Amino acid sequence: MPRFAANLGFLFPELAFTERFGAAADAGFGAVEFAQPYAWDAREIAELLEANGLEMVNFNLPMGNAAAGDFGIACLPGREAEFREGVRRAIAYAEVLGNERVNCISGKAPAGADPAELRATLLANLRFAAKEFAVAGRTLLLEPINTVDAPGFVVPRPADAAALLAETGARNAGLQYDIYHAAMMGEDPLEGLARFTPVIRHVQFADAPGRHEPGTGTVDIAGCFARLDALGYEGWTAAEYRPSKPTPDTLGWMA
């Protein structure tokens, strides 16, 4: 079976965030991830990880101002300086928390924006981040996100992300393959996992539609786990679903 991590932004919502670390450890997870650590002191999070015997495996680069509608800024012309400062901030947090991987959320296309300009901005920012991460001994991830949940997202399919990653020329940049997002774009995750194996560096999952635990939708999650094993995938596979009931009652898939 794959090595499973708990996404603490999604699992155990019935608990305060700082209590989710212990709950994840008690449930049998050896590692955790979540989107944004920046609201907490990195040392506080590190202490929670150590106290519960957990490894931090992934978080996102700063994603902009959510209250203003931002969902990632890497594709947005005019915000390059903010993106670069976010790269440096993420590296500083990763050095304390110990995770080798950090994910980039590309962003949404503003109304009337030139797709070519957005892509060129994103590519330049990815090259910058990969270079800085290489110096810091880190791997940059790029995650496609479906346009049903995030209309206008500029990197909606794994093939889009794989093409960008190839153009960066960076050996320390790879694909964050989310089974849920691929399924929501009408793709077959079983085929996608095999197709993109050479560039996959991290995997996330939820059933689709609904984004709940395995068994609540139409995706063959167990088959995806078996496919990852058959492909020799050795990275982490993170549960990033919205529990349809108390989280401990949704973990039957771990068996």
pLDDT value of residue 47: 98
Asked about 240 being catalytic, the answer comes back as yes
Closest listed residue to residue 106, CA positions, set 85, 131, 129: 129
Q: For domain 3-242, is the CATH number 3.30.56.10?
A: no
Residue 5: its H or E element: strand 3-7
Low-confidence spans in the chain with pLDDT less than 70: none
Residue of 33, 187, 213, 240 marked active site: 240
Integer Cα distance of 180 and 178 in angstroms? 5
Helices (H), ranges, 52-143: 80-97, 115-136
Neighbours of 218 (CB within 10 A): 9
Q: Are 29 and 238 in contact (CB under 8 A)?
A: no
Asked about 14 being catalytic, the answer comes back as no
pLDDT value of residue 87: 98
Domain ranges (residues) in the chain: 3-242
pLDDT value of residue 1: 86
Identify the bridge partners of residue 173 per DSSP, sorted by sequence position: 140
Residue of 47, 117, 143, 167 marked active site: 143
